[in-house]
Amino acid sequence: MLTHTVPTPLTEFLWNLFIGTALVITLYTCNFYYLVFLARQKKKTKSVELKEVPTVTIQLPIYNEKYVAARLVNAVCAQDYPKEKMCIQVLDDSDDDTYEILEGLVNDYKKKGFDIMHVTRTDRKGYKAGALRNAMRFAKGEFVAIFDADFIPPAWFMRKALSYFCKPEIGLVQCRWGHVNERYSALTMAQALSLDFHFLIEQKAKSNSHLFMNFNGTAGVWRRECIEDSGGWHTATLVEDLDLSYRAQMKGWKCVFIPDIVVDAELPVQMNAAKRQQFRWAKGSIQCAIKLLGDVAIKRIPIETKIQAFVQLTRHIAFPLMLMQFLILPVLLASKINLYIVSGLPAITVLAYLAMGPFVYIMIIRDLYHASWRSKVLSYFYMVFYSAGMAVNNTVAVFDALFGKKNEFLRTPKFGIVNKTDDWRDKAYALPFTKTTLLEIFFGVYGVVGIFIAIFSENPLFAPIIGIQTTGFFYIAYLSISHSASRKGKSRNMAVPSGTQRMANNYYKFAMGGIMGLIVLGVVMAFEEYSTTIYPLDQARGLLSRIQATSDPQSIHNEIEAVKTLLPASGNPVWIFPTEETDFGKMQRDLSYMLGTVDKISTTSGDSAAFHAGMLNVHGEATALVFNLLDATPYMYVSISNMLFGCIWVAVIIGIFAVLKRKRERLRAYDVEDN
């Protein structure tokens, strides 16, 4: 039978924190549903036929993209647009083979009559934003189009995109991203659906209204006057696109999104690359919030626009809130706190979760994709685990931004992956897993413990909720490690000795085996610790609750004896500022006193005053012990032995990281010697 207890001061604080974070997350979720409503409004952006073909500057910011750079330049030069009206700027900050590839390609197109220049810099000051700002000095014409290295604009792009500048206040035309390799893996399918939600719901809703939308950094065309009037490209944040588009709209410029113009791009196929991209977006958004929200607040713009700007710029705060909930939930379940929306009706809670999540999203998918919606439902479930697992990575990014850590624009490497049979593991740019993976493993192990707590605390309906995030953490951590494996063989530009290659692969296999072994060990140890220290306290509380509800001396005697065997004979789990209420020795003495009282009143009549007084005393003692155990239980999780084991566990994983780092540096040394 499911029983609930009155919260102690600690659990009450955690409960209030849990509900507060849930409320904030729910508000962000409801805002997304509001944007879904706006996106469904039928409003078509007007376009006009170009009577005169305007001159347009096409900027291609590139840094170490030898697998995709030529593809981009060829696609731009294949535009169905007069080449004398295109000023193509290849903004190349590369320090690898990409430079030679682009140098030769630019020279070839110059010979064919294209106005194309290979713009290089002596340093990467300002990164992408710095390159764009530097190139504006050489820009020609009224418009500036921008494409990242992994994009493939269709031949008709320029004519169609420019036709939407039909009003002088339109400063930006943002086009939709397509996905050239969406079906490559579960990872790319999850990213594709997430991006489709962004464009077809968020961008469309904001473009259809007076809300601020953002430039996505690529596949868009700016009015040059708009860039200059808004202050140009700033380098203070990692998302110069979001920064400029907000400054432009606060100046009165209009940004529009055109869903019918789709520019295919390559999705990251390596987990560590996807995490880097998500990290940059999350950190950059919070940086923009810090930089711009003050101006948004004082500008004379509609209140709804202000609210939506706040939501968009701060929405990544939801990730640390999700982690906070994830950490608190098992503690509340272990403390027997009622978490159901309607007390005694767990089904209502489950239905509420389903209604706010899968049911609504599947309806949205059906509305967006029509006949092909069923194939997208699988992508949705991939996206759920992907988004849940990314909470650690994006939380680190949020705190990175809040504490003002120095910016470094780390690009998302691409490998020219288009077909499902393409392989990227033998190519350069593959990223190793980072220390964030250690945190993901920790949260995964903690989630497994949380699932057991949900089951043993008679709250099994919460186990799937914890399980989704737990699976996500393990999924992200596993791919982070497995996608870090050494290259299978020699690339064209490397000659790593075969013995060294085999050694590198062996070390990565050792890392995988060691970390998986640590995960299993952590789960087994956590389950063993819970079953021997926490679960007996839960059982003791249950027996004490039964004592409170009965007046049978013999039953009470037997249950007190059982409680005495379940509780430690002595000790105090509160090792910082301990109190008598959490001292197990005192609890044992109180139980012995209760036994004496029960034995005395068992010989008296049940109708006597002595019996009733003694029973009230026993019930009061039982109630006090329940509260004492509630106070003691949370500290059992952070006992000295648990903390010591956790430190050893973390130290071993850090040791594995250190070994891999040394081996990676050794391989890089071979690369340097070979070059």
Active site residues: 93, 241
Find the radius of gyration of the CA atoms of the chain.
Answer: 31
Question: E strand or H helix at 500, and its extent?
Answer: helix 498-529
Phi and psi for 89 in degrees, rounded to 5? -115, 110
Q: How far apart, in whole angstroms, are the C-alpha atoms of residue 64 and residue 95?
A: 7
Pure H helices in 461-497:
463-482
List Cα–Cα distances, 545 to 31, 298, 460, 484, 548, in angstroms.
43, 57, 21, 53, 5
Q: What is the SS3 assignment for 590?
A: helix
Q: Structure tokens of 165?
A: 């500048």
Bridge partners for 623 per DSSP: none
C-beta of residue 132 within 8 angstroms of C-beta of residue 215: no
Q: What is the SS3 assignment for 547?
A: helix
What's at 20, amino acid-wise?
G
Which of 205, 310, 295, 307 shows the shortest CA–CA distance to 259? 205
Question: What HEC string does 30-69 produce?
Answer: HHHHHHHHHHCCCCCCCCCCCCCCCCEEEEEEECCCCCCH
Question: E strand or H helix at 177, and its extent?
Answer: strand 170-179
Q: What is the SS3 assignment for 264?
A: strand
Q: What is the SS3 assignment for 167?
A: coil
Long-range Cβ contacts of 195-198 (<8 Å, 24+ apart) = 196/368, 197/364
User: Which residues touch 370 (CB under 8 Å, ≥6 apart)?
Assistant: none
List Cα–Cα distances, 586 to 510, 530, 589, in angstroms.
49, 23, 5
Angle at 117 between CA 410 and CA 69, to 5 degrees: 45
Which of 427, 461, 230 shows the shortest CA–CA distance to 329? 461
C-beta of residue 660 within 8 angstroms of C-beta of residue 485: no
Q: How far apart, in whole angstroms, are the C-alpha atoms of residue 553 and residue 454?
A: 33
List Cα–Cα distances, 521 to 291, 448, 518, 529, 649, in angstroms.
45, 12, 5, 12, 9
Residue 642's CB: how many other CB atoms inside 10 A? 15
User: Which residues touch 172 (CB under 8 Å, ≥6 apart)?
Assistant: 215, 220, 221, 222, 223, 226, 245, 248, 253, 254, 255, 256
Q: What is the SS3 assignment for 29?
A: helix
**Complete DSSP assignment for 333-383:** HHTT----SSTT-HHHHHHHHHIIIIIHHHHHHHHHHGGGHHHHHHHHHHH
Which of 255, 261, 245 shows the shortest CA–CA distance to 175? 261
